[in-house]
Copies of this chain bind each other. A is one copy, B any other.
Amino acid sequence: MSQPLRVAILGAGMIGEVHRRAVLLAGAELVGVMASSQARSKEVADAWGVPQAYDDVEQAAASDADVVHICTPNASHVPFAIALMKAGKHVICEKPLGISLADAEEAAAVAAETGLVNTIPFAYRFHPMAREMRARVQDAEFGAVNLVHGSYLQDWMLNPRSTSWRVDAKAGGPSRAFGDIGSHWCDLAEWVTGDRIASLVATTSISIPQRPAATAASFSAVESDAPLIDVTTEDSACILFRTAGGVAGSAVISQLSAGRKNRLWLEVDGAHRSAVFDQEYGEQLWIGADAGATVHFRDPNHGSADQRRLSLLPAGHAQGYAQCFENFVNDSYAAVRAHAHGEAGPEGLPTFADGARAAAICDAMLTSASDGRWVDVKE
């Protein structure tokens, strides 16, 4: 085995832990960590058995790490990413890529200039069966795409006492449900079809007008008893769109659909076949045809090359979300190793350009919801 990559993680909350886990499994060497304070950085470094505890991003930028994972609060994503890339670090940055389109575009521009590896975890691309869907949708046998539709539904914000920093536009940016999960849906839809959303019309809803001020972590279902503040970001958003290729589409995004935990559902209807990927049943792919529907299972022994490559377990032994994330980090690291040899990394990695793309779609969505008209997505 070649020398392991040297890796640092900025941010030691729940999501930092998820990254650490993937770092370990990827066989990389975790050399440094930065947490919410100097004292906390030292504590975490000790707990994780990591040599370097950074006081600030500058120390991380000056370290001997090859790759830095950014898992800090959203507002810091872009400044940290830029500082690190300017110091020559490859960067894996958590979603979203900043809290404005301008931010995201700047990060993407710096990434393009430096030529360093830059990825963001649109992790659902790493479900083997999402790869299978992409291979099949882009295959001639599928036929031209006629329609793209689906939804991404959760219920963790259904309780009026649930909250997150994103309920307040000033704190977390002007979009919540769409920015948080709609972005995943759009990324997957564009990536699977190889087509882009060119224009859209949207409507958004705030069903719960006040919520507790944010103090708890995302995904926590703990009811907050903090004082109420006005909610200024959407609980749900619906969009219609047209792609550059002229295809119509529709998506429903909601964080208050009772009983829906993480239902990212994408259907693509083509001239000969249809395809459905449902993230909650991510071990399978539904392919519809006139004479019946076929359910393909994730399987290292069957299907498209990339699906097989990312299938780490025998069929019937579910991989799950954590292994999507591992696949994402493995491929990011493979890109870093390829970069060292001037080679291209694995196909299909979500980059800062994709992060900027998500921001552009979100911007158009907000403009349309506000103005009540079709809006072009900035290219």
Contact = CB atoms under 8 A, between A and B. Distances in A.
A160 B263 CA distance: 33
B319 A321 contact: yes
B238 A149 contact: yes
13 contacts: A24-B24, A146-B207, A147-B254, A153-B269, A155-B288, A258-B288, A259-B288, A260-B288, A261-B315, A292-B295, A295-B295, A319-B321, A320-B321
A355 B54 CA distance: 48
What are the 3 tightest A-B residue pairs by CB atom distance, in nearest-first order? A259-B288, A262-B316, A320-B320
Given A259-B287, A373-B373, 14 more contacts: A25-B25, A147-B238, A153-B269, A154-B316, A202-B240, A240-B240, A257-B288, A258-B288, A260-B288, A261-B314, A261-B315, A292-B295, A320-B322, A372-B374
Contacts of A273: 258-259
Given A219-B314, A288-B257, A297-B292, A283 B283 contact: no
A259 to B, nearest CB: 2
Which among A46, A204, A312 has the greatest number of chain B C-beta atoms within 10 A? A312
A221 interface: yes
Contacts of A4: 49
Contacts of A258: 269-270, 272-274, 288-290
Contacts of A299: 261, 291
Interface stretch (A64-72, A98-106, A242-250, A328-336): A242-250
Contacts of A146: 205, 207, 235-236, 254, 256
A55 to B, nearest CB: 22
Interface of A: 1, 4, 21, 24-25, 46-47, 49, 144, 146-147, 149, 151, 153-156, 158-159, 201-205, 207, 219, 221, 235-236, 238-240, 242, 247-250, 252, 254, 256-263, 267, 269-274, 279-283, 286-297, 299-303, 312-323, 372-374
Which among A221, A235, A250 has the greatest number of chain B C-beta atoms within 10 A? A250
A301 B247 CA distance: 29
Contacts of A156: 314
A322 B313 contact: yes
